[in-house]
Structure 1
Amino acid sequence: MDVVGEFQKGEIDGKPCLIYQNVIKPQIHSPNSSDEKHLIQNPLPIQNMTKVAIDSGDNLPPPPLFICPSLRFKLTITIEAKLLDDGGPTPDVDGKLRISHLLGDNMMYGHDILPLFWCNNKEADPKNDCSICNTRKVGTYYYFCVECDQRYHKECVESPLEINYPSHVKHSLQLYNVKTFEHCILSTKKAEVLLYYCALCDIYMHVLCAQAKIPFLIDQPKKHDHTLTLFPRQASLTCNVCGLVDKLHLTYVCRSICDFVAHIDCIHNPQTIRISRHFHGVSFTSSLPSGKWCCGICRREIDSDYGAYSCNVCKDYAVHTRCALRKDIWDGIELEGVPEDKDVEPPFYRIADGIILHFSHGCHMKFETNGVYKENEFCQACVLPINEENFYVCVKCDFILHEKCADAPRKKVHPLHPHPIEQKVVHENHEFECAACMRKSSGFGYVCTINGCDYELDAVCASASEPFNYQVHPHPLFLALDPKKRQYATFASQQEFKR
């Protein structure tokens, strides 16, 4: 029995939308009755079969319909191993699932699971609440496997081997179990373990995202004054929010008096954010003042007729919408209504003229000028020798800091990392590895302020900023974007910006 995931028109809470359903498509034979004719012409959604089982059982628990997802993985591995033993073609090494989720197709294996109809989480569980996808989801039902003593999302259990998605109509997507993680094109989050994949287009969807309802109408006053309507087909329309042509995302249009167009993910973009490439917060604007604008991240031209993020302090700084929201640029936090943190503790206090008390050292330090190279004297922060540079030296011991290292801020935003970083003086084992140059250092480091993120830079790499003026090159240098970061859309204007 073949099952495929499809979307059909329906209503939820009185609002029209496209609703995901698993549709059973029996093999077409010569029908012997009008009922079979009707079933072939109108495939029965598997959700209706569950309802029929409940209604016809005299209030008894419904019979199991599905097998455990963990068993599906194990059986797929077994089939692939058997193909190799039999000298057959080499199976997929990327984890394409081969086992149906239906119990009827796998009755001999057991591991049937039952639905927890009374369990519907209204708030996200602080722990991963599905043993397969490791993802938290609000408002989902669960299945429970007695054999494995685990619970699973309804969407993960009922995921068929193939689905058809409205914004990707040319090809169906196949169900995969992968160990390498890729970003879901619908949520831009990592699609972990269980996902749908189109090999021809090389795109991924998390099973939860692929089965989410698709509203026909969206109201988002922060982005547009009028109600937006789902565009019924794929089209090369330029989004007014991001200025991109993106056929992989659902598109919404204004059917009122304007020609506003927006991708479904762009409609809900944050208003104010902090990015790693700029000192101040940036806010979304629907258009920029006329003139030539250069994106502060990718260095390409910004079309002022489309949306962008701009700085309220630096009137000449702006970035493309999609550039600002990259995972390696934005920390994922919405800052609308949140004041900027301006109370940053200074790295030292000036005690007297030429005397300071640095946070890293308990003694006073005296300012000195240097005109000669001192081979055996090193800065404690950057671990570089004291050349012909000014420095501070402890009045009681040989603790030395370059003047520029002593002036380095205790907390900063660095273009290489989306989260703020702060200085750290003492390290375990008295050394660490810099995430930028991959070298060991025994000096000061800058560590990420987010719990669980172990990113750290040494003092030298942390001092790099944009633009970087290199003495042997006549032009300013800027950090390049990660070439491994795939771009699903194209800019409406792909011209390189030239000053």
Structure 2
Amino acid sequence: AELKHGAHECVLTSPENVADGICNICNKDEPVEFACDLCNFDLCSPCSKLPPKVSHNFHTDHPLELCLGKKDGETRNMLCSGCGNLFSEAFYYKCKDCEIYLDLSCAVLANIETGWDAEEKLHYSHAHLLRRCRPGTNARGSCLLCELPLSPCAICYGCVLCNSFVHEGCLDLPREIQHPAHPDHPLIRLDYTHTCGDGKVCDACG
């Protein structure tokens, strides 16, 4: 059998001997349903049935189209309008007319009750606008303010460009405090323009 799929430019064929492989869309280790041997491109059965366009109750104004990310080696993060997760998969559904993106997990859901509140804030801890999100499965690093590790499902404000995050609960940490280690003057929390240089040594604990 042959398949022309929007995720790949070549015609895909069913392998004579079915074996497990890493699907190029969902990245799961599944039996290969269709493949392009020339390009080493494999599709599992569920992903081979992904439609090029879907009409979704979450966004009824326009159809959502299956999109292929750019193959330039750069990681581009996007915010899923359904669940709020940041994702960098090569495939997703997008409204060509609106800034609506759905990762594959949300796109196949029959119903999404409410969309993610992707409020944006400008915060002194970072140079760019931060958007309310969850770091998602690719979470790395720590909160810009408390420096605790990020968890994939933590509600944060993040920079899509820099993949930097602030826990939602840390946004209101005071910018200025009085501390017994230096009672003469208030201490001011450094912003991103001061913390991106050489490391500093704590004068209280060394």
Quick one: higher RCO (CA 8 Å, sep 6+), 1 or 2? 2
Normalised TM-score (structure 1): 0.22
Structure with bigger gyration radius: 1
Normalised TM-score (structure 2): 0.47
